[in-house]
Amino acid sequence: MTSTQTRSRTFHLLRAGGAAAVPLVGLATLAVLAAPHVRGIGFFPVLRFAVIAPACLLVSVTVALLYPALAARVPRPRLTLSLGLVGLSLLILGGMVLGGPAGLVVAAAPAMLAVAVAVSWLVPRFVVRPRWSRVGTATLLLLGLLEAGAFVRAVSSERASPTRALTDAGSRFVTLPGGARIHYVDEGQGETLLFLHGNPAWSYQWRELIRGLRGSYRCIALDYPGFGLSEAPVGFGFTPREQSLVVEAFVEQLQLRDVTLVMQDWGGPIGLGFAGRRPELVKRMVLGSTWAWPTSTGEPRGIFSVIAGGPVGEFLQLNFNGFASFGIQNGVTRELPTDVLEAYLRPFVPLERRGIAAFYPGQITAATAYFQEVEAGLPRLADKDALLFWAHLDQGFPRRDTEHFEKIFPKHRTVELPNANHFFFEDTAEQVVAEVRAFMPAARP
């Protein structure tokens, strides 16, 4: 065989391996997503797309280069190849059992075994096929380009943003009796405002309100375990009920009394769960873009829960930090400055912390029992003064949610924000600060 023929043969084998890798990447990704696990927090970063894609390409190209030699030496090369790859996969899985974290082998086994079998079937077909149809070639090329683009996007999302301080002079840490290490901001003096954030977010979301109110009130904003800069204890499940109990323990640890709760998104069910259990500790409510009752899968918020909390949402968040980025940018009417968006997203950049943002959408419908508890406790809060914000542009929390709160809290004042979205305090910070000041008793001189 001449050198030209050798180069042509090598190119054909490389092309065959690359082409076979395209469906293999999709198969492996689907197998990882289909493996039994808790969406988001049960995902292993080692199985992310940025690892799966190049691994499948490497295996596929290597097998393509070796297959002709195997076919020339054994009578049933495909069966031999399949048995060899399955055996190698089992050996690697055995190593995971001995040296990997608990649960990794269960999560990895479907993808590894599926790829082992598929490689032994796909690669020989691509190797022995002399010519490919134009439609097939175009399809594989398009899918390959999409996967390559996704790989680049996934890798770029893992690079930490430029170093900047995420804490300021008001930042503190406290370790609760249950083991959670909680980061919180504590600024100002006077009556206590306790700010409870949503998802995907952290205490940073309240910075403008705290700046506007800390001159008259004590402003405290914490990060729940797994969010922001807080750390969860071993065995923590990250459920909304557990987070609500953390808020209760935090209030007790700091000996807070006569608290005014400021709640948005998940801050509502987490904070109102605490308030329903301990109404004697809570004096007033400030609510916006939130809810506190069960959600069915047939209503818009439930449909969002099924999609964003399912395989699609998990894939986008864990591999590209996609849900956090999309949720923040599309929840604000104005364009956030780059450094502000960066600060919002930075706690979700580490791979081991991304899953929390993918976990909570599913809890909208999965945590029905907890929402029933929260709803049952709301009558104990009916005597509390409430300030309600209705952001007209927030499709996730339409007018009927505000009306529901108006019935729960007879002593309410509702403020309409026609040009605000989900993160309404980003769109209308000055107005919200003014409304909270008018709602709160005048600060003592």
Enumerate the active-site residues. 265, 394, 422
Give the residue from 186, 182, 176 showing the smallest Cα distance to 219. Answer: 186
Report d(CA 342, CA 202) in Å as an integer. 13
Whether 108 and 93 have beta carbons less than 8 Å apart is answered as yes
* DSSP conformation letters of 17-29: HHHHHHHHHHHHH
Helix (H, G, I), strand (E, B) or coil at 200: coil
DSSP 145-185: HHHHHHHHHHHHHHSPPPP-----TTEEEEE-TTS-EEEEE
Inter-residue contact 206 to 286 (CB < 8 Å): no
33 closest CA partner among 54, 50, 53, 47: 47
Are the beta carbons of 419 and 429 closer than 8 angstroms?
no
b/e per residue, 303-335, with b = 16+ CB within 10 A? ebbbebbeeebbbbbbbbbbbbbbbbeebbbee
The tokens describing 177, both together, are: 């009796």
With tokens 């175009």, the residue in question is 138
Cβ–Cβ under 8 Å, residues 44 and 109: no
Contacts of 136 (CB under 8 A, 6+ apart): none
Contacts of 339 (CB under 8 A, 6+ apart): 164
